[in-house]
Structure 1
Amino acid sequence: MDFQLPTSRPARAGLSLLAGAMMCAALPPWGWWPLCIIGVALWALLLDSQPARSRFWVGAGVGLALYLPSTVWMVKMTPVGWPVAVSIWFPLVFGIVSAACPPKFALVALPGLVVLSEWVRWHAPFGGVPLSMFAYTQGRGPLLPIARVFGTLGVSGAVAVAGCALAALLRTNTRRRGAIGAVALVALTVLSVVAPSGHDVKEITVAAVQGGGDQLTEHWATDYDEVLQRHLDAARSIDEPVDLIVLPENIVNVDGYWDTSPQRAKVTDLAIEKGATVVVGVVEDRDSSENFWNFATSITPTGEQQGRYDKVRRVPFGEYVPLRGLIAQFAKGQLPGRDAMPGTGPAVLDTTLGRLGVVISFETFFPRRVRDALHNDAQIVLNPTNGSSYWLTQVQTQQIATSTLRAVESGRWLVQAAPTGFSAMIAPSGEVVSRTAISEQNVLVERIALREGTTLAMWWREAPILLMAAAAVAVAWRAQRRRFLAAAAEPAPETAPAEVPL
């Protein structure tokens, strides 16, 4: 017997919200990953045999229920941007995805459209706002290894395939296709486990320093001398030899220039004292009232500065304001006063230890930033970050999930250091080897490997998964057209002539 859904409009609206809510519950910090697959299955079934307008509103309901709770942290950061994103942008994207599915072949097209829509959201608006993606549900899920072959988009597509396969298994006429999809997904996951991931070159001892402190702290209310001192004290508590010390993003905040600042002297003293390379996150304003510069730099054990990487992907409405002249007319008192200047260089630091890949904070959400590091021969990926201004732990837990994806798809160890959490050491397999708690002062110390070589995801980039996604959508619509033409060509059923009374 086939699985049947209610046909009334209120019931279907409620089910679309339920589907989105299940996807939301699969995301960090909740992490009930099977619910995303079930939610996608329900979404796909709601699209079956429905007109385009109904499909659009189903998708809008899914998008609203997924993003309203999973992005509620944004209200503290951007009270203007959050209502727009939740009430317009995300429902619109999911509505378009749903309406673009052919009514009789939504199970075939939906995974491809999910991949294409997530690619769009990794690039737009404002360079990309990749929040609450399907792949993040797999930070501790079974489909994570697929990132090694098809990257993060491949993991999102795999989640959608799993959901559509489940939906197909619930209907008699599609059960065979559902079984084929499920078997193919299992085979891909197994092959991904043994796919190339690079090789170790040498081992080093790395320390990720978390100075601790309260969450939800604002820039204007922060004593940066105290913040730096907490981290220096924590680093000095390391009681074993280390090769590399990673300090978080912007724990050094300089009025003027870093090169001539007393803060640089303090970090240099730490590097010399510990006999280690120190990577530190710095913000300097160069005496500008309009801009600031957010970068990471390294200090050698002899006190020399080696390399500098300026953050390329800035947080919209956090580190800069897109269309400032227009938006300031409506929300002038709620906008950052200065804009970060974007960097233009490769995402690496050349040091005596080797070439260190660096993605600062928000950049770890973008596969292309880690890809830039790998294509410039990075042997490890560092993620100095700062989530101390965020409300709740949604961003921080999603960041751990996305950093896990970056580690797997790059075949590199990833070291994340945050002032108030989470800091973590993540292996190329995706295992979170160690992680701090929120607000505590702690130092993670691990023996890890610098690595060379590459993964298939880094080698062929996103082209294969995008081509497969587009092909799935094209095949689905071609099948829909054939069915339409076949139905139109069928002769109308013959009717008996009406009897005329004499």
Structure 2
Amino acid sequence: MPCWLAVITAAAAGVLMDLAYPAAGVWPAAYIATALVLLAMIGRSVAGSLAVGAVFGLVFYALLVFWTSRYLGPIPWIALSALEGLLTALGLIPIALAYRWLPRGIPRHLGRHVLLPALVAALWTGREVVLGTWPYGGLPWARLGMSQSESPVAAISSWVGVSGLSFLMVFAVAATVECARTRSWRQPAWVAVPASAVAILLLMPAFPTAAAGSLRIGAVQGNGPSGYFDERKPWGIVDAQAAATDPLYGEDLDLLVWPEGLDADPFRNEYLASYLTGISGRAGAPLLANAATTDGSALYNTSFVWDPSISPAPEREDLQTYDKRNPVPFGEYVPDRDFYNALAPDLVGLLQRDYAAGTDTPAVSIDGVQVGLAICFDVIYDEMIRESVRAGAQVLVFQTNNADFRGTDENLQQLAFARMRAIEAGRTVVNISTVGTSQIIRSDGATIRSLPAGVEGVMVENVELRTGTTPGVAFGTAISQLLLWAGLAALTAARFTARRRIRGR
């Protein structure tokens, strides 16, 4: 198609791709958007593919992460959208080159209908892998597979991980595009390629994990003043959490869970320590809570199991703790602070303290049951789930604070990622937020209990424990790395093969 039409197509693809993610959550839109992007890339020069890719990336990210402008205004939103849009454009150039080189090097049906779709899918997935790790730890927020948490294809993630699901989705779309481009729909052998990919996506059941008893968990959404700019009275957050916990007193709980964030460091504040001890004592169960804590000179975002049976006012080293492994750049710390302070001193000045990255295994033990953990945006990083399951986690608990994004799609997007993790790992997930939306999600992705945003409440459930490691968790990272490097190697080989065939004419 001409470049002007490709630009319009790319913009439409960006809008459709955003619709595939919550709040709209129209998951089939992801396939249409992918097809439009691929069609817009075919026949493009490097400059043309950069322009078309930039339009797609900018439109998509500007819509998807618009919630970043909720409190700090347009500058963070524009900066993040522009960066991710540019990286997306750069990452789509190899796909345009694949459409140019591979049919020249391997012009037969096998190359067009199998090898080309596989290469395009590997390059798409490789781009997602890079954006999920760089810069500053990356932003794996927009992986194609993550758009499918409510779709029947989500079960595939338990076999190949989220990146593997992205690959299969793009392969199915790219193979369909090639059948249409080559008018091969009357040849059963080649129609079978996209048809088989679609059948695998739709019909493959989730990898079976084994039931292993239950753990009675009570989770509390306090809806307190936990936002960065919320006005609050002294102890406003903990008071809201404590008030919301009242219905759980008298329940026979194994674990009480509060979301991310308290008013102070309980290991350095005697009043808060006694407060938590009272809460845990009245509940008759250990309390899994979270606060900003210090250890030496370092500041951490820390989840901990407050167990007053150890001591009424335990020290940090007395308790099981997990320090957040992936602090959010420009949210919990400022990388290259001097550089960015020169660009936007007012915004950078709002973050006076930098959280350090923890090194702990993201799991704690409750009466012999391993509970896997993730704090807020930790949930989007594959290694957190992998390490939790390897540590023996039989249930996953995700603590988060969405107060800075009240009234936006952020909490629903994060909740969708939590649902995908439940399916991928074959584990029940307890996703508890300060202000919502909170849910208990079964290992098949079904919601057991839910609290809407903006209300206080509790969820209590005999949560099913499960054992066994899914292939998606065990090999998901290896699959993503394999797709990244194999795609680049295959593209290089396609280039040399195409040049050799052209010279041989």
TM-score (norm 1): 0.87
Give yes or no for the alignment of 1:264 onto 2:273: yes
- Conserved 8 A contact 1:165-1:181: yes
Q: In the TM superposition, what is the alpha-carbon distance from 1:480 to its structure 2 partner?
A: 6.0
Distance 1:128 1:205 in 2: 36
Deviating more after overlay: 122-131 vs 30-39: 122-131
Give yes or no for the alignment of 1:279 onto 2:288: yes
Q: In the TM superposition, what is the alpha-carbon distance from 1:454 to its structure 2 partner?
A: 0.8
- AA of the residue aligned to 2:245: A
- Conserved 8 A contact 1:307-1:351: no
Deviating more after overlay: 158-167 vs 301-310: 301-310
Q: In the TM superposition, what is the alpha-carbon distance from 1:484 to its structure 2 partner?
A: 5.2
Match of 2:323?
A: 310
- Conserved 8 A contact 1:232-1:270: yes
Give yes or no for the alignment of 1:103 onto 2:99: yes
- Conserved 8 A contact 1:244-1:276: yes
Q: In the TM superposition, what is the alpha-carbon distance from 1:311 to its structure 2 partner?
A: 1.1
* Shift in alpha-carbon separation, 1:386–1:232, aligned structure 2, 3 A: same
- AA of the residue aligned to 2:273: R
- AA of the residue aligned to 2:375: I
Q: In the TM superposition, what is the alpha-carbon distance from 1:298 to its structure 2 partner?
A: 1.0
* Shift in alpha-carbon separation, 1:157–1:392, aligned structure 2, 3 A: farther
SS in 1 for 2:235: helix
Distance 1:445 1:46 in 2: 49
Q: In the TM superposition, what is the alpha-carbon distance from 1:128 to its structure 2 partner?
A: 1.7
* Shift in alpha-carbon separation, 1:76–1:393, aligned structure 2, 3 A: closer
Give yes or no for the alignment of 1:70 onto 2:82: no
Distance 1:482 1:181 in 2: 25
- Conserved 8 A contact 1:77-1:318: no
Identify the match of residue 403 of structure 2 among 366, 376, 388.
388
- Conserved 8 A contact 2:91-2:127: no
* Shift in alpha-carbon separation, 1:264–1:166, aligned structure 2, 3 A: farther
Q: In the TM superposition, what is the alpha-carbon distance from 1:415 to its structure 2 partner?
A: 0.7
Match of 1:38?
A: 32
- AA of the residue aligned to 1:307: Q
SS in 1 for 2:333: coil
Q: In the TM superposition, what is the alpha-carbon distance from 1:469 to its structure 2 partner?
A: 5.2
Q: In the TM superposition, what is the alpha-carbon distance from 1:403 to its structure 2 partner?
A: 0.8
Q: In the TM superposition, what is the alpha-carbon distance from 1:476 to its structure 2 partner?
A: 5.7
Distance 1:36 1:320 in 2: 33
Identify the match of residue 293 of structure 1 among 276, 300, 303.
300
Distance 2:135 2:236 in 1: 37
Output one character per residue of 1:290-327: Cα deviation in whole Å (capped at 9) or x when no partner.
x6322111123746564111111101101000001211
Identify the match of residue 464 of structure 1 among 461, 474, 479.
479
Distance 1:168 1:372 in 2: 39
* Shift in alpha-carbon separation, 1:205–1:164, aligned structure 2, 3 A: same
Distance 1:464 1:271 in 2: 43
Identify the match of residue 24 of structure 1 among 9, 18, 21.
18
Distance 1:325 1:248 in 2: 33
- AA of the residue aligned to 1:375: R
- Conserved 8 A contact 2:374-2:398: yes
* Shift in alpha-carbon separation, 1:179–1:41, aligned structure 2, 3 A: farther
Identify the match of residue 346 of structure 1 among 361, 371, 377.
361
Match of 1:412?
A: 427
Q: In the TM superposition, what is the alpha-carbon distance from 1:142 to its structure 2 partner?
A: 2.0
Match of 1:246?
A: 257
Distance 1:99 1:174 in 2: 25
Structure 1: gaps spanning 5 or more residues: 1-5, 491-502
Map of 1:69-218 to 2, 5 A cutoff?
69-76=63-70, 79-100=74-95, 101-104=97-100, 105=102, 107-173=117-183, 175=185, 177=190, 179-187=192-200, 189-191=202-204, 193-196=205-208, 198-213=209-224, 217-218=227-228
- AA of the residue aligned to 2:382: P
Q: In the TM superposition, what is the alpha-carbon distance from 1:459 to its structure 2 partner?
A: 2.0
Deviating more after overlay: 137-146 vs 392-401: 392-401
Distance 1:340 1:479 in 2: 45
Give yes or no for the alignment of 1:451 onto 2:466: yes
* Shift in alpha-carbon separation, 1:223–1:109, aligned structure 2, 3 A: farther
Distance 1:433 1:241 in 2: 19
Structure 1 stretches of 4+ with a deviation exceeding 6 A read none
- AA of the residue aligned to 1:226: G
- AA of the residue aligned to 1:70: L
Distance 2:135 2:330 in 1: 12
Identity across aligned pairs (percent)? Answer: 24
Match of 1:500?
A: none
Give yes or no for the alignment of 1:52 onto 2:62: no
Match of 2:413?
A: 398
